[in-house]
């Protein structure tokens, strides 16, 4: 991969860049682009070898005589017919291949005779094909909605007046979203959801999700805002399904004496719990607030959009041009603006605090609802900090933001997507994978990400059914202050291969903000755009190290 230091004029340097994007600035001179390799995604292609299957072996086959053409009653097969194909059977195995899709393997055992095979998918549709004698084949199907379905396979042997039936219960890989009023499920400081007491070094606590409150049992994943506080050393937090191996990726990174929140979308274990591990060398307190969950019985899919600014109190966008006062709330319209339709159930945001007069927190909640005790963002005086938020939208199409401090702060809200019954993309959790680590000499993009430059990630250029990715981005070893922007790339992969790519224009939005020497994480729900390539921009003037972990994706079909 070609590399060259970005060339920036003295005039451009003098212009400066704020921690939060404001007015547009001239594009810098174009350097050579830096790109990652495609991730090793397990999207069902090797599900068979990994055992991710719903199976019903051939010995569960039910054989019966075909009904008589004249009476409609089952005709007793002749001795010759029974002996001719007495062991007719079919084994069935269903594999999830996409969020809505499956492949079914049928293994038929039969004497050499013409057969008709009917696969009823459980959604009112069927496939029919002819076979002759023993047969093995794979048939694909895509469901319009996520959910549980009974797949029934019938093999008919007309010559011997016999049928063989087997069926399997299949659950789609994808799941849809149900918003949940922000609620605190875990607080180790006071014993909410777990025994009171700090989480010890390199140990974990767990939080009950399925069956907790009005969250049903059997949910597949949950949206949690996890906050680490009372820290006395550096470390990180990892959330993962109870009963599974802890991944090597991180969700929340913290330094001593920091309080750090971050949104996570994490699969739920079979027993309904999520485990949260402290990977630091000293005890910490952990807080977890729920704002929604995923299941195969919900009805809200996801639609990602290019990041769009809806609120900026510094400019009067979306609210009055003044800081949000201490213990005050503002409401702002989401539905029906800037490409977001009416009737959505929830919205995916990036919320940023800047210029706060004192320490405090923000709570984001549905318009018209009661102010929750749960927080989305914690800040200190003078800090600029961002966090992802997924929040239900009120019946009026609005959300509200409460400032829990006693003094004012500026607030910026960027919309990155929305959930609705008309949205077609379902969520698929995948095994967490590190995509980028500029600190790692083996990484194709090893070396700090230069100021005002970007890394392109060709995540799904060959799979247009994928509409977005759930990433956790972390900035560390920062040489100065700045902010990160994640956005779809307008170039194709062929443009990069042929070295004819255009220098993209980053949007006027931010995903996370940092100061010199900081380590800052934030969840990113990134749209793949039209080319399946995602850009991660360093919008500061100084170099940084960047880490990007992949946790899931949104997929149509």
206-221: pLDDT as tens digits: 999 999 999 999 999 9
pLDDT tens by residue, 295-351: 999 779 999 998 999 999 999 999 999 999 999 999 999 999 999 999 999 999 999
> Within 161-262, where are the H helices?
none
State pLDDT tens for residues 480-533. Answer: 999 999 999 999 999 999 999 999 998 888 999 999 999 999 999 999 999 999
- How many helices (H) and strands (E) the chain has is answered by 4, 34
pLDDT of 81 strictly over 70 = no
CA atoms within 13 A on the CB side of 114: 4
Characterise 339 by phi-psi region: left (phi > 0), alpha (psi -120 to 50), beta (else). left
Q: What is the mean pLDDT of residues 138-157?
A: 97
The 3-state DSSP class for residue 449 equals strand
Distance, CA of 52 to CA of 40 (rounded, Å): 17
CA 65/CA 161 separation, integer angstroms: 6
Nearest-angstrom CA–CA distance, 55 and 103: 12
Cα–Cα nearest to 424, from 393, 467, 471, 488: 467
In eight-state DSSP terms, residue 60 is G
pLDDT digits (tens, 9 = 90+) for 259-293: 999 999 999 999 999 999 999 999 999 999 999 99
DSSP element (H, E) containing 95: strand 89-96
**Residue 554 and residue 221: Cα distance in Å, rounded?**
13
Cα→Cα distances 225→196, 228, 297, Å: 19, 10, 23
Of 69-73, 154-158, 203-207, 538-542, least confident by mean pLDDT is: 69-73
d(CA 34, CA 469): 20
In whole angstroms, give the CA distance from residue 215 to residue 290.
10
Residues 132, 112: Cα–Cα separation, whole Å: 6
Alpha-carbon span 528 to 556, nearest angstrom:
12
- What local confidence, expressed as pLDDT, does residue 313 receive? 98
Mean per-residue pLDDT over the chain, rounded: 90
Predicted confidence (pLDDT) at residue 149 exceeds the cutoff of 70: yes
- By residue count, the chain amounts to 557
Count of other CB atoms within 10 angstroms of residue 59: 8
Mean pLDDT within 449-464:
94
For 356-380, what is the mean pLDDT? 95
CA–CA separation, 63 and 88 (whole Å): 8
Average pLDDT over residues 435-462: 94
- Find, among 270, 262, 301, 247, the residue nearest to 417 by Cα: 301
3-state secondary structure 111-165: CCCEEEEEEECCCCCEEEEEEECCEEEEEEEECCCCCEEEEEEEEEECCCCEEEE
Say how far apart CA 54 and CA 355 lie, in whole Å. 54
Better pLDDT: 430 or 29: 430
Q: pLDDT at position 26, please?
A: 38
- Asked whether the predicted pLDDT for residue 385 surpasses 80, the reply is yes
Higher per-residue confidence, 11 vs 227: 227
- Averaged over 247-268, what is the pLDDT? 94
Please report, rounded to a whole number, the percentage of residues in the chain having pLDDT higher than 90.
84
pLDDT band at 24 (very low <50, low <70, confident <90, very high): very low
Beta strand 89-96 with 53-56 is: antiparallel
Cα–Cα distance, 293 to 178 (Å, whole number): 5
Q: Torsions phi, psi of 106, nearest 5? A: -110, 130
Residue 19: band (very low, low, confident or very high) from pLDDT cuts 50, 70, 90: low
Angle at 103 between CA 102 and CA 106, to 5 degrees: 135
Model's pTM, two decimal places? 0.90
Distances (CA, A) of 170 to 173, 215, 502: 9, 23, 45
**Distance separating alpha carbons of residues 473 and 523, to the nearest angstrom:** 6
pLDDT of residue 15: 30
Question: Residue 284: its pLDDT value, please?
Answer: 98
Residues 6+ apart with CB under 8 A from 379: 353, 356, 359, 360, 361, 362, 385, 405, 409
């Amino acid at each position: 991969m070609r590399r060259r230091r970005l060339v920036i004029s003295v005039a451009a340097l003098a212009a400066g860049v704020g921690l939060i994007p404001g007015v547009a600035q001239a594009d810098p001179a174009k350097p050579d682009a830096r790109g990652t390799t495609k991730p090793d995604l397990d999207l069902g292609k090797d599900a068979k070898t990994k055992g991710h299957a719903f199976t019903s072996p051939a010995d569960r086959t039910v054989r019966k005589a075909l009904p008589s053409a004249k009476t409609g009653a089952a005709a007793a097969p002749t001795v010759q017919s029974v002996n001719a194909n007495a062991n007719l059977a079919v084994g069935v195995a269903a594999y999830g291949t996409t969020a809505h899709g499956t492949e079914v393997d049928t293994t038929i055992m039969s004497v050499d005779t013409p057969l008709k095979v009917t696969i009823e998918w459980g959604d009112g549709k069927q496939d029919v094909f002819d076979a002759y004698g023993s047969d093995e084949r794979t048939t694909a199907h895509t469901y319009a909605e996520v959910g549980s379905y009974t797949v029934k396979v019938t093999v008919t042997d007309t010559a011997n007046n016999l049928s063989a039936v087997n069926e399997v219960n299949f659950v789609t890989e994808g799941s849809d979203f149900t918003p949940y009023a922000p609620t605190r499920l875990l607080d180790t400081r006071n014993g909410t959801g777990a025994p009171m007491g700090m989480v010890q070094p390199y140990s974990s606590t767990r939080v009950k999700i399925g069956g907790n409150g009005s969250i049903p049992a059997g949910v597949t994943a949950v949206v949690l805002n996890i906050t680490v506080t009372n820290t006395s050393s550096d470390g990180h937090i990892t959330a993962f399904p109870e009963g599974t191996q802890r991944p090597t990726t991180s969700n929340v990174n913290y330094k001593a004496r920091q309080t750090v929140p971050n949104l996570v979308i994490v699969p739920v274990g079979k027993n309904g719990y999520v485990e949260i591990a402290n990977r630091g060398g000293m005890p910490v307190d952990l807080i977890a607030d729920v704002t929604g969950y995923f299941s195969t019985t919900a009805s809200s899919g996801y639609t990602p959009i290019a990041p769009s600014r809806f609120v900026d109190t510094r400019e009067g966008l979306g609210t009055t041009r003044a800081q949000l006062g201490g213990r005050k709330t503002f409401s702002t319209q989401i539905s029906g603006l800037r490409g977001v339709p009416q009737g959505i159930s929830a919205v995916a945001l990036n919320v940023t605090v800047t210029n706060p007069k004192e320490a405090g927190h923000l709570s984001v909640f549905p318009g018209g609802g009661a102010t929750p005790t749960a927080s989305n963002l914690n800040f200190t005086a003078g800090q600029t900090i961002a966090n992802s938020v997924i929040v239900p939208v009120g019946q009026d199409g609005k959300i509200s933001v409460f400032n829990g401090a006693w003094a004012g702060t500026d607030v910026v809200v960027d919309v990155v997507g929305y959930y609705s019954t008309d949205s077609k993309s379902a969520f698929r959790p995948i095994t967490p994978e590190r995509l980028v680590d500029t600190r790692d000499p083996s990484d194709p993009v090893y070396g700090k990400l230069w100021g005002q430059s970007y890394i392109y990630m060709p995540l799904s250029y060959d799979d247009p059914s994928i509409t977005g990715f759930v990433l956790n981005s972390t900035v560390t070893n920062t040489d100065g202050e700045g902010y990160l922007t994640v956005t779809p790339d307008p170039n194709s992969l062929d443009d990069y291969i042929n070295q004819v790519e255009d220098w993209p224009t980053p949007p006027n939005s931010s995903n996370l903000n940092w100061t010199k020497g900081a380590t800052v994480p934030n969840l990113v729900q990134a749209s793949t755009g039209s080319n399946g390539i995602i850009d991660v921009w360093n919008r500061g003037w100084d170099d940084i190290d960047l880490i990007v972990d992949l946790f899931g994706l949104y997929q149509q079909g």
